[in-house]
Chain A
């Protein structure tokens, strides 16, 4: 019984140590997923979001993209929507907050592939946008391309992947 207890204790300490290592020294895939989850969190908002919070959230959101980011996605209303640069993303984020409050955004099933040189990455994921209590507004497969700039992963391009052609 003592041996069993000691064995469990060793396994628990090893697991804790491994977990601490992944928290303190996350790999690139973990960092990218965290940033994409932050994008989804910043694109999610409700009617209680005040003006200052909105400005801060939108400012943080556009900081996750490259300056000359390109976004080409299919939308229910406008078919193919193209946005180039942070300013257009800022305007789109502010317009969404005016027209669709509240809004919930999720980026699911993130499949990260990091290029061999370690400074470019591609992520295939499923984007889901809904208004709580209503049907899905928009569900789509998306391809994100990221680049490591000064140690930070920034989104340089987002495009729709057509699930059904």
Chain B
């Protein structure tokens, strides 16, 4: 008489499932989907610095949606990721700027009393909560240029990284 095969223990079933092969296939599929999503669609980002306060806090987590501009171009008010050097999808560590678009191609952008002016007119900016006295002469944007700046205008203007970003450098829009 052949001995009956032993059924797997409860612990084995909890860890590996009833069929190890199916479990491995499911795990590999999940890993592949996660790799595709977080490498090519949603870039996880940890925010460092205070240039986007109080909208985004130093140390908070967000995602950059790289598919946000598949159907339309970046819009005024969008908070976007602006890349430095071209990013490799396989790179485990990258850096980018997180800024808000305030100027669109072709516009004349300046600063007066801490507020953005577009073609000489002040822009309504409800996201700027902290007092500011920034002033800067207007600059003309080219057909491929977007003007980006952080929401924290209370820091000295010379300590804040802002300016004209080419369209190709805009990676995507924040998800949260």
Q: Which residues of A contact B (CB under 8 A)?
A: 76, 106, 108-111, 124-126, 128, 135-136, 139-142, 161-165
Contact = CB atoms under 8 A, between A and B. Distances in A.
A70 B34 CA distance: 43
A117 B145 CA distance: 35
B85 interface: yes
Given A109-B84, A124-B85, 19 more contacts: A108-B85, A109-B86, A109-B88, A110-B85, A124-B86, A125-B85, A128-B95, A136-B49, A140-B84, A141-B85, A163-B82, A163-B84, A163-B97, A163-B161, A163-B165, A164-B148, A164-B162, A164-B164, A164-B165
A125 B159 CA distance: 22
B48 interface: yes
Contact of B82 (A124, A136, A164): A164
Given A136-B48, A139-B84, A126 B94 contact: yes
Contacts of B60: none
A106 B169 contact: no
Interface of B: 48-50, 58, 82-88, 91, 93-95, 97, 148, 159, 161-165, 169
A141 B161 CA distance: 13
B93 A141 contact: no
Contact of B93 (A108, A135, A142): A108
- Which of B49, B84, B162 is most buried by chain A, counting CB atoms within 10 A of its CB? B84
Nearest to A163: B84
A67 B58 CA distance: 41
Given A109-B86, A109-B88, A125-B85, A165 B95 contact: no
Nearest to B97: A163
Contact of B164 (A110, A136, A142, A165): A165
18 contacts: A108-B91, A109-B85, A109-B91, A126-B94, A126-B95, A128-B95, A135-B48, A135-B58, A136-B49, A140-B84, A142-B85, A163-B161, A164-B82, A164-B97, A164-B148, A164-B162, A164-B164, A165-B163
A112 B56 CA distance: 34
B85 A106 contact: no
A102 to B, nearest CB: 17
